[in-house]
Amino acid sequence: MNLVLEIALTHVRFRLRQTVVGVLGVATGVGFSVMMASLMEGSQRDFIRQLVDALPHVSVTDERREPPPQPAAAVYQAVAVLGLSTDEKRKGISNPYATIAGLEGWVPGAVAPSVQTKAVARFGGRDTTATVIGIDPRREVKVSQLVTQMRDGTLDGLHKASNAVILGDGLARRIGIRVGNTVTLATADGRAFYAQVTGLFHSGVRQIDENQIYTLLRTAQVLAGRTALINEIRVRVDDAMQAREVAGRIEKLTGYKSVSWQEAHEDLLSAFQIRNAIMIMVVGAILLVASFGTYNIVSTITHEKARDIAIMKSLGFRESVVRRIFVLEAAVIGLGGCLAGFVLGYLLCRGLGLIEFRTGFSDRTGLPLIYEPAHYLLAGGVALASSVIAGYFPARKAARVHPVEIIRGAS
């Protein structure tokens, strides 16, 4: 075995109590860092997955980001436009099926038309405002998770009755309706339609489950008062993380506002960034505290070993060799702490996984944890590096010991 390593290992082996304390310090840091990273990233991924699953990855609507220029502006250099009022009715996407066909040619995923309108759902004297989404069930299954979110009835049930609707289970609960009942859908202009509830869905996102109603395209078009209206194209991208790029390209090609799921939840994703920054700081602080422990232990060892250092130097050991011995000791403590920390982190995650934990946001009954090797590598790497750095300073001091001073004192 290499001499430097042998001396370092001998030192840590003969100071077992100190070594164990140091290893436990680092292990605690690594273990809790792994647990925190697992929990934080697990919850973030779980949250994002629900968001991604609950909505189409890209929503192309009949709106435009910039209002179209006024015709007068094309003729005159200076135009002041005052008192404009917007159309009450949405115009819809022009030539929607041609647009869809065009998108299907290059979008890596699936595309489906839909109609969105608002209505008040009434049943048994109770009512609630709802978003009615007209869909083509054959296409919808390719762009959303609706088929897997069905709790009662099936998506095909929309074809089994005239004006059939599928309600979010939260909405159904709110107005006290069940499958087979007839709900009244009242539009903003005062018209009322009777629709039969053929199914209930549950996305896991309360806002959706309490507000959305699915129906066939033509039913929604009748409800909106415009036949052939398509005011939203729903896109599912094979790789959800590509949604932003795909949305940008669609918007550029069609001129219609295309919102990716990332854009729709920009505020939440920003919150995640802040959350991650906090997590990194907390984890960093934990590992820093652990490194102070290593510093303390290596300092103590170098102090106790001052005489040995002096004699090694008098024998002819170079400063760099002495320094390496104590840096290696810190590395051994760091490495031991990392390995023990990996076990501790894993066990903590397993333990947390057993805790029952419910939130209003999702149906999950336990804490969302993920087991990611990167967490272990990162926590271990940072702990090892901070241990080595923490060990370097006392090691450097030890290496600079003037042997004569120690030998005189000892003699």
Partner 1 sequence: MSVPLIEVRKASRILGGEVPTTLVADIDLVVAPGEFAAVIGPSGSGKSSLMYLLGLLDVPTSGEVLVDGRPTRALDEDARSALRLSHLGFVFQFHFLLPEFSARDNVLLPMRALGRLAPKAQEARADLLLAELGLKDHGWKRPDQLSGGQRQRVAIARALANEPAVLLADEPTGNLDTASSAQVLRLLREVAAGEGRAVVIVTHDPTIAAQADRTITIVDGRIVGDQARAAG
| Binding window for partner 1 (CB under 8 A); candidates: 152-160, 310-318, 369-377, 390-398 | 310-318
Indicate which single residue of 3, 268, 277, 285 sits in contact with partner 1 (rule: CB under 8 A). Answer: 3
Q: Are 197 and 181 in contact (CB under 8 A)?
A: yes
Determine the 3-state secondary structure of 335 from DSSP.
helix
- Judged by beta carbon, residue 239 or residue 304, the one nearer partner 1 is 304
- Judged by beta carbon, residue 201 or residue 317, the one nearer partner 1 is 317
- Within 8 A by CB and 6+ apart from 81, the residues are 70, 72, 73
Interface pattern 262-301 for partner 1 (x via CB under 8 A): ----------------------------------------
Q: How many other CB atoms are there within 10 angstroms of residue 264's CB atom? A: 18
Closest distance to partner 1 from the beta carbon of 306 (Å): 12
Indicate which single residue of 98, 278, 289, 404 sits in contact with partner 1 (rule: CB under 8 A). Answer: 404
If one asks whether residue 403 binds partner 1 (CB under 8 A), the answer comes out as yes
If one asks whether residue 73 binds partner 1 (CB under 8 A), the answer comes out as no
Task: Give the span between the Cα atoms of 258 and 11, in whole angstroms.
Answer: 65
| Bridge partner residues of 116 (DSSP) | 133
Closest distance to partner 1 from the beta carbon of 389 (Å): 24
If one asks whether residue 303 binds partner 1 (CB under 8 A), the answer comes out as no
What H or E segment, with its residue span, contains residue 167? strand 164-168
Sign of CA dihedral 133, 139, 142, 146: positive
- Judged by beta carbon, residue 83 or residue 316, the one nearer partner 1 is 316
If one asks whether residue 10 binds partner 1 (CB under 8 A), the answer comes out as yes
Indicate which single residue of 63, 156, 263, 319 sits in contact with partner 1 (rule: CB under 8 A). Answer: 319
Closest distance to partner 1 from the beta carbon of 402 (Å): 8
Indicate which single residue of 5, 120, 321, 378 sits in contact with partner 1 (rule: CB under 8 A). Answer: 321
Q: Are 121 and 171 in contact (CB under 8 A)?
A: yes
What H or E segment, with its residue span, contains residue 356? none
Quick one: which of 317, 332, 331 has its CA closest to 399? 317
Indicate which single residue of 94, 95, 129, 320 sits in contact with partner 1 (rule: CB under 8 A). Answer: 320
| Binding window for partner 1 (CB under 8 A); candidates: 114-122, 178-186, 368-376, 401-409 | 401-409
Helices (H) then strands (E): counts for the chain:
16, 10
Task: Give the span between the Cα atoms of 292 and 298, in whole angstroms.
Answer: 10
Closest distance to partner 1 from the beta carbon of 310 (Å): 8
- CA 68, 70, 76, 77: dihedral to nearest 10 degrees? -50
Task: Give the span between the Cα atoms of 260 and 240, in whole angstroms.
Answer: 9
Question: What single-letter DSSP state applies at residue 158?
Answer: G
What H or E segment, with its residue span, contains residue 197? strand 192-201
Interface pattern 249-268 for partner 1 (x via CB under 8 A): --------------------
Interface pattern 132-151 for partner 1 (x via CB under 8 A): --------------------
Indicate which single residue of 205, 283, 310, 398 sits in contact with partner 1 (rule: CB under 8 A). Answer: 310
If one asks whether residue 323 binds partner 1 (CB under 8 A), the answer comes out as no
Question: 162: burial class by Cβ within 10 Å (0-12, 13-18, 19+)?
Answer: exposed
- Within 8 A by CB and 6+ apart from 7, the residues are 325
If one asks whether residue 360 binds partner 1 (CB under 8 A), the answer comes out as no
- Judged by beta carbon, residue 218 or residue 307, the one nearer partner 1 is 307
Indicate which single residue of 201, 256, 272, 317 sits in contact with partner 1 (rule: CB under 8 A). Answer: 317
Interface residues with partner 1 (CB under 8 A) are 3, 7, 10-11, 13-14, 307-308, 310-321, 403-404, 407-408, 410-411
